[in-house]
């Protein structure tokens, strides 16, 4: 079984662990740098990215996370997790650090105060079974995506029409919304599938 960690410093860790478990992963909370060593994939949960980044730095996890994702560890970030995976941020406190790995510029709290939280349906490229029910909570969006980034989904309609809310670059996936809160496991299934393929490729590559 693929071992998938969930960064467990803050945020909706339990929800991600439950969905990953349901998708057949050996899902584990990660609080210490040593716990990264056994992982085949990592999830960065929703929560508060400024706090999560500070805690990650304080507990010596930030650089090991950068190294791991930089070395190809599959990663999935929802909401605050998307912010943590972004190479560049807008509307973040000065000096807010990220793990990076996605060649995107992400705007925090992008949907604005008037639409603090909302739900809509988002069609995701390559995901069978119709649009996902997307829950946005003080969510970011991807303002700009680099050439190597695949846009998986955009908002349709309303003031944020066309905004990018799901992306993939290699084995790194991020969504502005929280599939872990909806009972629809397809985004996690997609990620666990990426982890399984990555693991199989790595095993084949070994002497």
The set of catalytic residues is 79, 178, 180
Tell me: is residue 49 an annotated ligand-binding position.
yes
Q: At what angle do helices 49-58 and 62-70 cross, to 10 degrees?
A: 100
Taking the complex as a whole, the smallest distance from the CB of residue 159 to ligand GLN amounts, in Å, to 18
Residues at the site binding ligand GLN, with contacts judged by CB under 6 A: 46-49, 79-80, 83, 108-109, 137-138
Pairing of strands 150-154, 164-169: antiparallel
* Element housing 167 (H / E): strand 164-169
Query: Residue 83, annotated ligand binder?
Result: no
Which of residues 113 and 204 has its CB atom nearest to ligand GLN in the complex?
Answer: 113
Residue number with CB closer to ligand GLN (5 or 47): 47
Cα atoms found within 13 Å of the Cα of residue 118, Cβ hemisphere only: 17
Q: Which C-beta is closer to ligand GLN: that of 50 or that of 193?
A: 50
Question: CA-to-CA distance for 177 and 138, rounded, in angstroms?
Answer: 9
Min dist. Cβ of residue 112 to ligand GLN (A): 12
Q: Confirm or deny that 47 is annotated as ligand binding.
A: yes
Is 170 exposed, middle or buried, given 0-12, 13-18 or 19+ CB atoms closer than 10 A?
A: middle
Residues in binding site: 47-49, 108, 137-138
Residues in binding site for L-glutamine: 47-49, 108, 137-138
């Amino acid at each position: 079984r693929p071992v998938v960690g969930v960064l467990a410093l803050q945020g909706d860790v339990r929800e991600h662990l439950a969905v990953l478990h349901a998708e057949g992963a050996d899902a584990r909370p990660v609080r210490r740098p040593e716990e990264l060593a056994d992982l085949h994939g990592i999830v960065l949960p929703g929560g508060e990215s400024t706090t999560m980044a500070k805690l990650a730095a304080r507990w010596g996890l930030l650089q090991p996370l950068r190294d791991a994702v930089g070395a190809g560890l599959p990663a999935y970030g929802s909401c605050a997790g998307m912010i943590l995976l972004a190479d560049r941020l807008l509307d973040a406190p000065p000096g807010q650090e990220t793990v990076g790995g996605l060649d995107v510029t992400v705007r925090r709290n992008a949907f604005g105060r008037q639409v603090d939280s909302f739900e809509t349906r988002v069609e995701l490229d390559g995901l069978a079974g119709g649009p996902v029910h997307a829950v946005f909570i003080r969510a970011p969006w991807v303002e700009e995506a680099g050439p190597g980034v695949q846009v998986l989904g955009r908002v349709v309609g309303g003031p944020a029409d066309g905004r990018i809310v799901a992306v993939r670059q290699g084995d790194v996936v991020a969504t502005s919304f929280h599939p872990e809160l909806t009972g629809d496991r397809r985004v996690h299934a997609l990620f666990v599938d990426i982890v399984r393929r990555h693991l199989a490729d790595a095993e084949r590559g070994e002497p």
